[in-house]
Amino acid sequence: MLRSLVVVLMLSSSVAYAATPAVDGRNELLVARLMQENGRPDMACALLEDTSVNSVDADRLYVLARCNASLQRIDTAIVYYQRVIALKPAEANPRVELAAIMVALDRKDEAAQLYKQTLPLLPAGQVSTQMSNLIEQLGRDDPAAFARQASGKPWSLEFYAGLVHDSNINGGPVSNIIPAMVGGFPGNFVLSPDAMPRSSWGASGSLTGSYLVPLNERWSVLFQGVLLGNGYFDTSDFNNEYMSLSAAFIYRDKDWSASIQPNIGFSRQANRMNETTPGVITRVSRNLNSTWSLTGSLGYINRTVHLDSNRNADGVLGSVGVVAQVQPNLQVGADYNMQREHADAAVYSRRLDGPSVFAAYRIKPQWTVVGNYSYSKVKYDEGSFFFPAREDTQKTASLTSLWDISAWAGRNMVVRAQYTQIDNPSNIGYSNYSRNIFSVGVQTQF
């Protein structure tokens, strides 16, 4: 269907050329745009291949820049983008897209310069959304990736407020009958109705801040803080808050980067301190080429559970992964995570391992979607008097949508909607649960 459309449009344009050459050029450009938008960058480039790089037709050159970028002809795309920027210095999108390419090539100084030049050209909200998307695509929780983008503006502050609906705020099991062994004989526990899943709407909010301190050309320090919480309308027994503070020492070279990040987290539930978890994590990233990069991490945590000292634990964790910058607007990645915890009581000591995958796609400058899926096997060292050693399989899937509405609402306003599904089958009945969480709200960034 697409090929026949191209043939028809090209024939009509060739007929028009005899009378009005300018119309032919416009039709050819229109077809090329259609090809690019419909996933055929090869045909878009083929239609415009006779266009000289020294042409003064910025619209044709812009399509050529985009189709060459989609085909991973990076050097050619850069040349076309630079020519478009020279011809239309007030246009923001070519600078943003070229900056994305420079980010993927780890040419951080050129990317930072493009960011600075772009800031005056876009409304504040659009700038915030586009640049934040690029930061998110570079690597989840990677301080070096964040610092690479912070050259133009060393600090960032983001506020979010919204509503949340949780189908299982108390982590209740799927069944009220729990099989057990009592005195060597099989039996069942029947749970009270209060132990079964409870759903509720609530209010959700977060505040995230960061500040980058460059030490020299290679080294920098990134300070980060997160404060978030949920308050439910039906009951306050499961209201929760979490705070995290960290300082990452970052080293960046041309083809690789590394960071070491001391951090501490605090969690509260029902207005009582629940856990305190200090730790340290080291991350390394190596660029193989303009598309692929390898990542790895290794860390240590020490958890204090204030309501039950038997659960106090220390542990080691690590991961290996790969990230692919498929095109300027799309990044995908996968990693394998491992964690070993030794608790004060062996019944709470456990091993966790499993893969996770993610994809981040900027559909439009104002709209980005991010998908995640993780699978983790959890095995505990020992069982209790009534139950065998616990074994869980936790599967988590989430989809997040970010939509920039600052053109109407102003002040960097972005609508954030997220759906998360957690399925946790377990050989122990009270740990066998499922959960669906939906949240929607607005966020603004300074």
Digit-coded pLDDT (tens) for 44-73: 898 898 888 888 888 899 999 999 988 889
DSSP states of 47-79: HTTT--TT-S-HHHHHHHHHHHHHTT-HHHHHH
Overall fold of domain 2-138: 1.25.40
- Give the containing element (helix H, strand E) for 95: helix 93-104
Give the three-state DSSP class for 151: coil
| CATH code that applies to domain 155-445 | 2.40.160.60
134 and 365 Cβ atoms separated by less than 8 Å: no
Do 2-138 and 155-445 show the same overall fold?
A: no
Banded model confidence at residue 439, pLDDT cuts 50, 70, 90: very high
Is residue 19's pLDDT more than 70?
A: no
Alpha carbons 422 and 432: distance in angstroms, whole number: 11
How much is the average pLDDT of 6-12?
28
Q: What is the pLDDT, as a whole number, of residue 343?
A: 94
Which segments of 119-268 does DSSP mark as H helices, in order?
124-137, 143-149
Give the three-state DSSP class for 94: helix
At 13, list the tokens.
């344009």
At 343, list the tokens.
């608790």
Compute CA 423 distance to the chain's CA centroid, rounded to the nearest angstrom.
21
DSSP states of 266-313: EEEETTEEEEEEEEEEEEEEEE-SSSEEEEEEEEEEEEEETT-GGG-E
Ordered by start, the domain boundaries in the chain are 2-138, 155-445
Is residue 124's pLDDT more than 50?
A: no
**What percentage of the chain has pLDDT greater than the value 70?**
82
Mean pLDDT lowest for which of 144-158, 273-287, 367-381, 415-429? 144-158
Residues belonging to the chain: 446
Burial of 314-335, coded b for 16+ CB within 10 Å and e otherwise, reads bbebbbebebbbebbbebbbeb
Banded model confidence at residue 152, pLDDT cuts 50, 70, 90: low
Mean pLDDT lowest for which of 109-113, 147-151, 293-297? 147-151
Give the three-state DSSP class for 233: coil
Is residue 139's pLDDT more than 60?
A: no
Q: How many helices (H) and strands (E) does the chain have?
A: 10, 16
Is residue 15's pLDDT more than 70?
A: no
pTM over 0.85: no
Alpha carbons 385 and 184: distance in angstroms, whole number: 10
Is residue 149's pLDDT more than 70?
A: no
**Residue 144 DSSP one-character state:** H
64 and 90 Cβ atoms separated by less than 8 Å: no
**Residue 381 DSSP one-character state:** S
- On the CB side of 178, CA atoms within 13 Å amount to 23
Banded model confidence at residue 121, pLDDT cuts 50, 70, 90: low
Banded model confidence at residue 185, pLDDT cuts 50, 70, 90: low
Q: What is the pLDDT, as a whole number, of residue 180?
A: 67
Q: What is the pLDDT, as a whole number, of residue 47?
A: 87
Alpha carbons 13 and 79: distance in angstroms, whole number: 28
